[in-house]
Structure 1
């Protein structure tokens, strides 16, 4: 499979999970069953009233990271920050608590703002930096650069080391799959010896909520226990809680594995950001080519 097809699959797969998950966000499985039965398509709605095919802050911030990298791939953090501010200016329907608090404290230094937000809230290990970090694995071929930018973009809003650790592990897995390794093997290799080195034969003993460690454990659970892209997404979406983010993060990795052409058209055809994401994928692929060639 061509690398570009995998990159498109990652971005589209991520956005489809996000768009499908907004309908069930913050609901319990019992509430989902009563209202919908089983969600197997993009419905829109949810607690923030999304249109059908509309995506949440997960995809918006992923796009911001991609655009920041495209603007200055050598040193993207300043440009990523500009994209964050431009997104906030659109008055989005939802901004996570940690990120909105960082915005409140921002006075020109993202890292100082993130530390101030951490001190104010008392914790900053949410999944808000993990949900947006995937474009980094697409743009950079060098592992050290992947790890460096993954950590830095996380620290812009999430001071806690658990958040940056999750981003690094996630993008190391994404990089392996992009290079042709099998997804299950990539996950098991990268979680060995970490806090995520668990038995995923049964559901994690934590809720599928916004704490980054819980989020990533549930992402791994669905990826290691479901075969198809749809089955991965359906599992996450119908578990509720932070369903859009978990479905998106899992969908990103599964999308790389299967490629954009294998994500069902009944999902992609209603995705409002599809064309934009495909264009961003092409730009990230072009940057990756420059990086690989050492230009």
Structure 2
């Protein structure tokens, strides 16, 4: 949902637009409700987990990424219209990109499914490293997954902790040290670029400073720049604080290729 809201506004400067509803066209000239590579790679990951009995099989996930890039599978219309340079290079070459200049958000944007299966931090790192192997990218994914798993653990064992409590208790070294107080910062100090740390910060900021799912997603898009990915990651984190049923029916009804989405979920 966040991905589709953000697609028409990707790369637009903050303050140059104001998103209030699900619209189409814009940056990528796609109809309303069209989702991008963020959701495609989440769905590809979900399908692999589903077909492998909730197990992580790295080569199978990689193969499904190839099917997406080269054949248009796991996309709303059978074609790819948006892909990051690092992701494309890694999929084409079959080699993880692990230099410090390859710390875009292309692994973080697709790591959400691992928050809902039994896996280790090393498993998260390996899935992230299919495309983004630098430690900053892999650790951002570990932090993201751990936050959601910690919330779920509290629900399951009767020691519920709010998302705010979990985030405020984080003790992390740079470049992740701002996360524990991210909701105290003003919007002017929140970057919404494609840098993985900025995306994680922006997504958490949107979730923690919003009172509803709708507000969270619109706030993420209206930060500008990498609108679809920030909103997609915020939507994933928001799923542990807000109810999907809070989202407007017109938005839900506009989402493209719902049959594919339902087929891939596990």
TM-score (norm 1): 0.78
After superposition, the Cα gap between the structure-2 partners of 1:178 and 1:262, relative to the gap in structure 1 and judged at 3 Å, is farther
Structure 2 residue 36 is matched with structure 1 residue 51: no
Name the structure 1 match of 2:209: 225
| Counterpart Cα distance in 2 of 1:274 and 1:45 | 19
Name the structure 2 match of 1:241: 225
| Counterpart Cα distance in 2 of 1:264 and 1:244 | 18
Alignment of 1:117-128 (within 5 A): 118=98, 123-128=101-106
| Counterpart Cα distance in 1 of 2:96 and 2:203 | 25
Tell me if structure 1 keeps the 8 A contact 2:9–2:221: yes
* Alignment root-mean-square deviation, CA: 1.9
Structure 2 residue 112 is matched with structure 1 residue 131: no
TM-score (norm 2): 0.86
Structure 2 residue 23 is matched with structure 1 residue 39: no
Unaligned runs of 5+ in 1: 1-15, 33-37, 107-112, 284-295
Shift of 1:275: 4.2
Structure 2 residue 154 is matched with structure 1 residue 174: no
| Counterpart Cα distance in 1 of 2:143 and 2:20 | 29
Shift of 1:99: 0.7
Shift of 1:153: 0.9
1:53-111 CA deviation, whole Å, 9 max, x = no partner? 110000000001111111223342111111101101224001101011113322xxxxx
Tell me if structure 1 keeps the 8 A contact 2:65–2:91: no
Structure 2 residue 128 is matched with structure 1 residue 154: yes
2:28 alignment partner, SS class = coil
Structure 2 residue 192 is matched with structure 1 residue 208: yes
After superposition, the Cα gap between the structure-2 partners of 1:272 and 1:23, relative to the gap in structure 1 and judged at 3 Å, is same
Shift of 1:139: 2.3
- Out of 20, 25, 38, the residue aligned to residue 5 of structure 2 is 20
Name the structure 2 match of 1:99: 87
Name the structure 2 match of 1:192: 171
Give the structure, 1 or 2, with the largest relative contact order (CA under 8 Å, sep 6 or more): 1
Shift of 1:159: 1.9
Kindly tell me the number of residue pairs found equivalent between the two proteins. 247
Shift of 1:194: 3.5
1:255-290 CA deviation, whole Å, 9 max, x = no partner? 233233233322211111444434544x2xxxxxxx
Tell me if structure 2 keeps the 8 A contact 1:184–1:224: yes
Tell me if structure 2 keeps the 8 A contact 1:21–1:237: yes
